[in-house]
Amino acid sequence: DTEVTQTPKHLVMGMTNKKSLKCEQHMGHRAMYWYKQKAKKPPELMFVYSYEKLSINESVPSRFSPECPNSSLLNLHLHALQPEDSALYLCASSQGDRHYGYTFGSGTRLTVV
């Protein structure tokens, strides 16, 4: 299995909702990442988990809360988002000690209304 699987593919949520994005990989990668991507821009790093521990938080607002239940799963919990948070949210994984084989999922298209 060489894929990173993200669910759901599309999500529309109100500003008072709570929702979660899910990411799963079975490549034995020990680092997992959350990115945010706006149209016509490169992905922006949000969080990095290395060996199931949060190692990088790029000053992301607390309305985004990551969770890594085990080495194959990564969640992003969303609460009280703003319309400007609408974007493509990407999960990625890589070998923990190197970036080789850095693989992205297809993303969740999030719309906040």
Partner 1 sequence: QQQVKQSPQSLIVQKGGISIINCAYENTAFDYFPWYQQFPGKGPALLIAIRPDVSEKKEGRFTISFNKSAKQFSLHIMDSQPGDSATYFCAASYGGATNKLIFGTGTLLAVQP
Using CB under 8 A as the criterion, which residues of the chain lie in contact with partner 1 when the complex forms?
4, 6, 30-31, 33, 40-43, 45, 48-50, 55-56, 88, 90, 92, 94-107, 109
Cβ closer to partner 1: 18 or 38? 38
Cβ closer to partner 1: 30 or 63? 30
Closest separation in Å from C-beta 50 to partner 1:
4
Amino acid at 103: T
Closest separation in Å from C-beta 80 to partner 1:
26
Residues 6+ apart with CB under 8 A from 88: 36, 37, 38, 107, 108, 109, 110
